Amino acid sequence: MKKINLHEKLYSRRIHKPNSFLYWFFYSLCKLVYKKKYGMRRTIQDDPRKENGPVVVIANHASRNDFLFAAMPLYPMKFNFLAAYNEFFRINLAFLFRIMQLIPKRQFYADSYSTFEIIRLVKQLKANVVFYPEGLSSVHGANQPSALGTGKLLKFLKVPVYSVVTSGAYLIQPKYKFWKKERYAHTETIIKKVFDPEDLKKLSIEEIEEKVDETIYNDDYEWAKNNHVVYKENGEGIAEDLETLLYKCPKCGEEFKMETKGNIIRCSHCGNEAYINNDYTIHPKDETCRIPTTQKKRFDYQRIKVREEITNNPDFEFSVDCELGIMPKDHFLSSRKTADIVGKGAITLSRKNGFSYKGTMNNKPYEMHISNHDLYTFVMCYNANIIHFFYGGELRQFTFKTKGMPSKVMLIQNELHRIDGGPWKMLKGFKYDENECFK
């Protein structure tokens, strides 16, 4: 008997509108569990429920629970949500995602299945769709540029587009604390209209994507600082595990020497130290310390220094040992497992030769090679310790022994792609100037 291929089975499905009873049931459950827990506040400037036909909702992607901030304020309006492809193969989510008619999407990959299903849902079934143009939940607390194809899809659909922008969701469970205890304060969501069909017709794809980036942009660290939002830490310090994202000391420049305990982040090489309050504001230990003004700006600092490394060296090359993981085709993964580890080797990111992996896969020699132009980024989907991308339509996951290495590798590939003239540009207005990080 032929074994069931879960990937082929998933991509042979036809998505339908969500069942009304199931949608009501999960709406009621989520309202009971999350509304008070997340202190959900909403402002509906324009209401998509007043539209006569289908709509598309775009939203910033701050956390794994972002579906709440669109689904709950706009009930009884029902939506089909776009979700990461790999989430459909985790045992705790697989059945739920299917019965709720979520649309699988391979991130930063030309996924014709998800595109055609969105078009069919909107055009034929008159369904409402929610998707997150960034393509993955926020790494550093603010937005990254929209994935390529966002403007083209919206222009083709020709339906009203609304935005759902939420502040505070990232700081409840930042990327470096994924699967750890949540922190609590409140969240604020603003819903408004972005495009009429007439707007989409007259604007270029580039203009649409620029408007999308501008509309859904949100920086949780700036929001918390400006609104004096204090988070309850549940016994775990605000800074703990932050070194998985912030690997470089902004004073001495040493990498992978950062250490955290409680609310303190410190460089073990030079002693550069800061205290992070429960409102996420950063306070240098003394006047000798050099610390960017927010954690997001500190991540930007690392990007700027990576850019300098590459531009100053035409022969730039970075290699690191890793483990290789893939998505199984014949079984689901346990709730906190992200892939099956099938090999070991090393990845190399080169200015001249692009990305390569050389090592093993299923006890056999295995290699991958991709140009910098074609590989935009790695996806940091679950937490700051794991990255992946799609190669020939199949997920390839990389894990490393050193904390902070995934951030370094991801930033290198971002900037190699852009220096090579790749199409996935940095957000308009971003300045590769480290002085900006200390303002």
Distance between CA atoms of residues 250 and 434, nearest Å: 10
Provide DSSP, 240-309: TTGGGT--B-TTT--BS-EEEETTEEEETTT--EEEE-TT--EEESSTT----SSHHHHHHHHHHHHHHH
CA atoms 267, 268, 269, 275: torsion sign: positive
pTM: 0.94
- The one-letter amino acid code at 195 reads F
pLDDT averaged per 10 residues, the chain (length 439): 82 96 97 92 97 97 93 97 94 94 95 96 98 94 95 97 97 85 91 98 96 97 93 83 96 97 96 95 95 96 98 97 95 88 98 97 97 96 88 95 96 97 95 95
CA angle (235 as vertex; 232, 238 as ends), nearest 5: 60
Would you say 244 and 385 are in contact if contact means Cβ atoms under 8 Å apart? yes
Which DSSP string do the residues of 381-410 spell out, in sequence order?
Answer: -S-TTEEEEEETTEEEEEE-SSTTHHHHHH
- Please give the pLDDT value at position 1: 53
Question: What's the pLDDT score for residue 178?
Answer: 76
Contact 375, 107 (CB under 8 A): no
pLDDT at res. 2: 61
Give the DSSP H or E segment for 413.
Answer: helix 405-419
Nearest to 412, CA basis, from 295, 255, 259: 255
